[in-house]
């Protein structure tokens, strides 16, 4: 004799606000942090530093000394290649990221 068992599973999902998840952020500026301006060609690309979104180019961010990874992306364009910079203590700098049209 063969028996078949049917189970009905009901899953109820509760809406969870996004505020429960921590938002990644850059480390707080320490003494020696430098203002770094990131511009893009074309202007208006979304910029990330070390994987954290910092705004739309041109954007200026206080970064701690040491190596930092910059990226830029924009709809209709290939993302700019990741650029590694080294921030020098108390030294302002500007870096330009170039995007190429994808069409």
Q: How many domains does the chain have?
A: 1
Q: 75-96 as b/e, with b when 16 or more CB fall inside 10 Å?
A: eebebbeeeebebeeeeeeebe
| 27, part of any domain | no
Q: Which domain holds residue 59?
A: 33-101
pLDDT above 70: percentage of residues in the chain: 79
| 10, part of any domain | no
| 69, part of any domain | yes
Digit-coded pLDDT (tens) for 82-100? 999 999 999 999 999 999 9
> Which parts of 9-92 are beta strand (E)?
34-41, 46-49, 52-56, 59-63, 66-73, 77-78, 83-87
| 16, part of any domain | no
43 near 37, Cβ under 8 Å? no
CA 73, 77, 79, 83 torsion-angle sign:
negative
Q: Which pTM value belongs to this model?
A: 0.76
Provide the CATH number for the domain around residue 81: 2.60.40.1120
């Amino acid at each position: 004799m063969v028996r078949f068992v049917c189970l009905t599973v009901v899953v109820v999902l509760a809406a969870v606000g996004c505020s429960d998840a921590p938002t990644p952020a850059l480390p707080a500026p320490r003494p020696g942090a430098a203002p770094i301006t990131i511009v893009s060609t074309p202007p208006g690309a979304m910029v990330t530093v070390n994987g954290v979104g910092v705004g739309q180019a041109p954007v200026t961010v206080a970064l701690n000394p040491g190596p930092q990874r910059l990226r830029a992306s924009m709809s209709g364009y290939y993302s700019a290649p990741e650029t590694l910079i080294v921030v020098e203590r108390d030294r302002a700098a500007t870096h330009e990221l170039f995007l190429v049209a994808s069409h």
